[in-house]
Amino acid sequence: MSNYPLLINGESVTGDETLDVINPANEKVLATCSRASEAQLNQAVQAAKTAYETWSTESIDTRKAVVSAIADVLEANATELAQILTQEQGKPLADATGEVHGTAAFFRYFTSLNLDVKVLDDSDNRKVELHRKPLGVVAAIMPWNFPLLLLGFKLPAALIAGNTVVLKTAPTTPLSALRLGELIKDVVPKGVVNIIADANDLGGTLTAHPDVRKVSFTGSSGTGSKVMSSAATLLKRITLELGGNDAGIVLDDANPKEIAAKVFQGAFWNSGQVCAALKRLYVHESIYDEMVEELSTIANETTIGDGLEQGVGLGPLQNKMQFEKVKEILAEAAEQGTITAGGEVPDQAGYFIRPTIVRDIAEGTRLVDEEQFGPVLPVIKFSDDADALKRANDCVWGLTGSIWSSNIDRAYKLANDMDAGTVTINTHAALDPSIPFGGSKQSGIGTELGEHGLHEFTQLKVINIAR
Ligand code: NAD
């Protein structure tokens, strides 16, 4: 059995300290893993800095071979990694298995991209070339909702571009990434990938480290703002994927029966702990009652429980802090609106909240105005499309949004005016490694995934030859 070591300079290293990881389905200690000291963080950055000298000069095909080899490792060990993921994060085993294979697919996607030199001008007077060079040591900082999938947003792109990486796990979900580190130790050149765990105490140090040239961060907007301040001192590159309060707008010509399952999935996947989850649902008054009823039926039929058990649709909240926050928001919402499904916090161990639908609620309440990041969905009534759009846009975040309608032209107009990094029609979020993903306003800076996501790990360089 693994004792979950750190990965530093190609070696499995026992942490100078330890960290207890809680299984959110039963609140018991699942494992005690390695926790890095500041000295070990510095060793990881030094290893990445040294490895960069060689790795950055390798051909892109050599780098792709390593990224493919990591994908192979993920797939070959999917059963074990999914078990760990379910137990540390809480998600049902089928979702965890999907996450491991999805992560492998993200690694493979990036191997399909290239960074060819682009010739901007080739005339009698000059030849101008555009190159994309690596940046150096990248710090990749992870949240707790998708401990492996989000690693697939950062690691393959950083590596293919020629950077080396120090990845820091989230303090409550370090195990799957640490185990992956152990498994890839012999397929990645030493120092190219380093994986460390902390107790929420090393993020600032890693971000501020003078040898880190770029920070790729996923987490809350508050911490993202700290990352940006810290990176400002040495003008480091940053990509910030932050929070959201994503709105869905259901127009009067949508069919609640047809769309309810997809809307529910958009809002409740991963127990609502998704940056791009549907977090506010605006529904036209003419179909409001029907939509609420359809969603409530699905919520009532959903089984919650330990993700390792068969037939569980939703797992617990990932950690106690989040559990307490969602319970508080739920208690307020019960006073401010009408709960039509869920609302209960089962009297059992584990951070469980039943999927909850709240109707007759509007702006001015925490459930509508804040990012709940949990399985509680407010359904808000509207009578005029333009007004719904204005209310959806009146938000400090703008990660994703969705429009639901049987008339695509009508939906398209609203989608075009919605202020968000991604707007989907008749589906929500629809993540794909080939589609760039990033937020507007306080949802982030920069882009992950797709060719744009690869380019974020590069420095543009022009070579201009006079003739
Ligand atoms: P968080 O901001 O608390 O923590 C994220 C990571 O930052 C952790 O690894 C943490 O240890 C680290 N950290 C803490 N202080 C730091 C500092 N000063 N400098 C650098 N790193 C530091 O977020 P969380 O609670 O883990 O995740 C939930 C939040 O993340 C939600 O708001 C959610 O919307 C957001 N999220 C966004 C996306 C996206 O792609 N936009 C994806 C997943 C989660």
- pLDDT tens, residue by residue, 325-336: 999 999 999 999
Q: How many CB atoms lie within 10 A of CB 462?
A: 9
Measured from the Cα of 221, ligand 1's closest atom is 32
- Taking the centre of ligand 1 as the mean of its atom positions, its distance from the CA of residue 167, in whole angstroms, is 13
- Taking the centre of ligand 1 as the mean of its atom positions, its distance from the CA of residue 198, in whole angstroms, is 13
- Taking the centre of ligand 1 as the mean of its atom positions, its distance from the CA of residue 53, in whole angstroms, is 30
| Residues designated catalytic | 241, 275
Q: Which of 117, 119, 128, 118 is nearest to 466 (CA)?
A: 128
Q: Which of 241, 154, 203, 274 is nearest to 442 (CA)?
A: 241
- Taking the centre of ligand 1 as the mean of its atom positions, its distance from the CA of residue 330, in whole angstroms, is 22
Residue to probe by mutation, ligand 1, list 142, 275, 329, most atoms within 8 Å of CB: 275
CA-nearest residue for atom 39, ligand 1, is: 241
* Confidence grade of residue 255 (pLDDT, cut at 50, 70, 90): very high
Residue to probe by mutation, ligand 1, list 200, 223, 225, most atoms within 8 Å of CB: 223
pLDDT of residue 428: 95
- pLDDT tens, residue by residue, 67-97: 999 999 999 999 999 999 999 999 999 999 9
Please give the structure tokens belonging to residue 57: 């000069």
pLDDT of residue 465: 98
Question: Is 319 within 8 Å of 22 (Cβ atoms)?
Answer: yes
Q: Which of 35, 32, 12, 6 is nearest to 21 (CA)?
A: 32
pLDDT of residue 1: 55
User: What sign for the dihedral angle of Cα 32, 272, 97, 114?
Assistant: negative
- pLDDT tens, residue by residue, 294-321: 999 999 999 999 999 999 999 999 999 9
Distance in angstroms between the alpha carbons of the first and the last residue of the chain: 64
- pLDDT tens, residue by residue, 145-186: 999 999 999 999 999 999 999 999 999 999 999 999 999 999
Please give the structure tokens belonging to residue 141: 């900082």
Q: How many CB atoms lie within 10 A of CB 83?
A: 18
pLDDT of residue 429: 85
Measured from the Cα of 198, ligand 1's closest atom is 11
Amino acid letter at 424? T
As a whole number, mean pLDDT of residues 244-271 equals 98
pLDDT of 5 over the 90 cut: yes
| Helix axes of 93-110 and 78-89: crossing angle, nearest 10 degrees | 120
Residue to probe by mutation, ligand 1, list 35, 106, 141, 271, most atoms within 8 Å of CB: 141
- Taking the centre of ligand 1 as the mean of its atom positions, its distance from the CA of residue 229, in whole angstroms, is 15
Report d(CA 377, CA 203) in Å as an integer: 31
Report d(CA 352, CA 315) in Å as an integer: 7
User: What sign for the dihedral angle of Cα 353, 354, 359, 360?
Assistant: negative
Measured from the Cα of 321, ligand 1's closest atom is 25
Report d(CA 422, CA 332) in Å as an integer: 30
Please give the structure tokens belonging to residue 377: 């969905």
Q: Which residues line ligand 1 (CB under 6 A)?
A: 141-145, 168, 170-171, 200, 203-204, 207, 218-220, 223, 226-227, 241-244, 275, 371, 373, 399, 439, 444
Measured from the Cα of 171, ligand 1's closest atom is 11
